[in-house]
Structure formats: C-alpha cells, structure tokens
C-alpha cells in the first residue's frame, strides 16, 4: 500500500484526528495540503514536523459561505492537480431543544455549515477536477451519531453527519464510472480533545464501548490511508464503523 506522490487536501488537519491522518499519509509518501480553521500555529508546527511532505497550509473558516470553494481554489493554486480530498474538519456545538432560540439556530447553522455544507462544496469542486484528471478519491469523516442519532443536546451534529453519509453514498453511486471513489468513516468516541477526559462523562462514554476504550486517532488514520491508497476500489460507497462495537449494524 502506497500513497507515493499523491497530493491530498486534508481539512481540519492542524491537530487531533486531522494531524494523525496527515502524519500517516506523509509516511505513505503523500504530499499534503493542510487546512486549518483558526490554529495557524499548530498547522505550521505540523508542517515543520512533516517537512517537505506538506506543500503548504491554508486557513479558512468553514462556517462562512463559500468557504469550501475558496479553500479548493487556494489548494489547487498552491499544489496544482489534487488527487484526493479528506473532509475531516468538524465541530460539535450543543443544539439543545430547551436552549434559547437564537443560540439554537446558530448552533444548527454552524453544525450544518462545517459538517455538511463545506464538505459538500469541497466535494463538488473536487469532482469537477477529478473528472478531468481521470479519477480521484474522497474520504468523509462522519460519525456514529449520523447512523444511530445522538443525545438530545446534539441533534444538529447528528443530522449533519447523517447528511454527509447520504452525500457520500450518492456521489459513490453516481461517479464510480468516472473512477471517482467515495468512502465514509463513522467513528464513535476518538481519544482527542473533543472527547470527555474524566469524571462521569468519561465513565458514561466508556460504559457503552464493549472494547473498553476509545479509538485512537491513529486507527482512523490508518483506515483513511488504506482507502486513499486505492487498494479496495470496490468498497466505494461504504461506511466504515470504528466504534469498539458500541454500535453494530
């Protein structure tokens, strides 16, 4: 399995899962464009760590209208033809049904913008170029929540992640004949800054995982790199569950 000389755009790559995916892809020989939302220092620190595997870092707030199109344009200007896209960036602000209406609306807007609209816009741009290039690969990092739902305070997050799963399947069905492969990964809890770190919330999270621990970022990174390698094209359209058997279909 190799990613030698493949140029890959990874969103939300400055830290956590995105940084793990970037590191794994770099080890496989890929050239990377690192996207970050606000943490430029972390993105440039990753660039320094991965050295010439990173072609450059691009900042873009994916909550803003047109962010996906601007990011793709900046990435192609920087790197030329891109071979693969990893839609990893995500946010999870609460959207409590009992919350104040203005905050509730803003949470829905932000969740949909970052977790669904921006990835869809990036995919739209990628598909246009991939068709001219003879193919390409898209990996969308979704969530277990998009399949089974989430708690009542994170309805918007679950809805957005369910949307990205449907989007992935639709693209896969429509574009396989153009050699454009689309996959989704649906993790449960991952041991990153977004996960609970202690107390009752951590106990509750672990209590529903038969494996007994959260997934490590490197596990999802390894699966992402495998899918990007082209080793199993017939899996296009599939959603890969990585949740320690906490949700088995």
**Residues 70-79: pLDDT tens digits?**
999 999 999 9
User: Which residues on neighbouring strands pair with residue 123, listed in sequence order?
Assistant: none
User: Residue 207 in contact with residue 232, Cβ under 8 Å?
Assistant: no
Taken in order 201, 107, 87, 15, is the CA torsion positive or negative? negative
178-204: average pLDDT: 90
Specify the pLDDT at position 169.
Answer: 98
Q: How many C-alpha atoms does 192 have within 13 Å on its Cβ side? A: 22
User: Which residues on neighbouring strands pair with residue 137, listed in sequence order?
Assistant: 84, 181
Say yes or no to pLDDT of 184 above 70. yes
Specify the pLDDT at position 194.
Answer: 81
Question: What is d(CA 218, CA 227) in angstroms, rounded to the nearest whole number?
Answer: 14
3-class SS at 70?
Answer: helix
Q: Which of 121-135, 152-166, 188-202, 213-227 has the weakest average pLDDT?
A: 188-202
Question: What is d(CA 102, CA 158) in angstroms, rounded to the nearest whole number?
Answer: 20
State pLDDT tens for residues 20-61: 999 999 999 999 999 999 999 999 999 999 999 999 999 999
Specify the pLDDT at position 1.
Answer: 64
Taken in order 19, 62, 130, 230, is the CA torsion positive or negative? positive
**What is the set of domains in the chain, with CATH numbers?**
7-242 (3.40.50.720)
Question: What is d(CA 20, CA 52) in angstroms, rounded to the nearest whole number?
Answer: 17
Question: What is d(CA 55, CA 169) in angstroms, rounded to the nearest whole number?
Answer: 30
- Supply the DSSP string of 198-244, one letter for each residue: SHHHHHHHHHT-TTSSPBPHHHHHHHHHHHHTTS-GGGTT-EEEEST
Question: What is d(CA 39, CA 155) in angstroms, rounded to the nearest whole number?
Answer: 27
Specify the pLDDT at position 172.
Answer: 98
The distance from CA 136 to its chain's CA centroid, rounded to whole angstroms, is 16
To the query of whether residue 157 is one of the catalytic residues in this protein, the response is yes
In sequence order, which residues have a C-beta less than 8 Å from that of residue 123 and are 6 or more positions away? 85, 87, 138, 140, 167, 171, 182
Kindly name the residue from 36, 130, 157, 189 that is annotated as catalytic.
157
Model confidence at 201, pLDDT cuts 50, 70, 90, reads confident
- Look over the chain and give the mean of its residue pLDDT values, rounded to a whole number: 96
Phi, psi of 169 (to 5 degrees): -65, -40
């Amino acid at each position: 399995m190799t990613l030698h000389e493949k140029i890959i755009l990874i969103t939300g790559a400055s830290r956590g899962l995105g940084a793990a995916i970037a590191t794994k892809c770099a080890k496989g020989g890929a050239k990377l464009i690192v996207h970050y939302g606000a943490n430029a220092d972390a993105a440039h620190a990753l660039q320094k760590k991965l050295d010439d595997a990173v072609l450059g870092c691009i900042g873009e707030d994916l909550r803003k209208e047109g962010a996906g199109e601007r990011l793709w344009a900046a990435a192609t200007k920087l790197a030329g033809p891109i071979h693969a896209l990893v839609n990893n960036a995500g946010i999870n602000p609460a959207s409590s049904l009992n919350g104040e209406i203005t905050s509730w609306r803003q949470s829905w807007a932000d969740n949909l913008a970052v977790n669904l609209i921006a990835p869809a816009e990036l995919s739209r741009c990628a598909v246009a170029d991939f068709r001219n290039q003879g193919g390409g690969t898209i990996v969308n990092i979704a969530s277990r929540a998009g399949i089974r739902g989430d708690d009542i305070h994170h309805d918007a997050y679950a809805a957005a992640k369910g949307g990205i799963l449907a989007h992935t399947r639709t693209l896969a069905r429509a574009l396989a004949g153009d050699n454009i492969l689309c996959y989704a990964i649906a993790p449960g809890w991952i041991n990153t800054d977004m996960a609970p770190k202690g107390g009752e919330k951590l106990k509750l999270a672990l209590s529903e995982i038969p494996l007994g621990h959260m997934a490590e970022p490197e596990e999802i990174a390894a699966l992402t790199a495998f899918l990007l390698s082209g080793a199993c094209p017939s899996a296009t359209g599939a959603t890969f569950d990585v949740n320690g058997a906490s949700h088995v279909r």
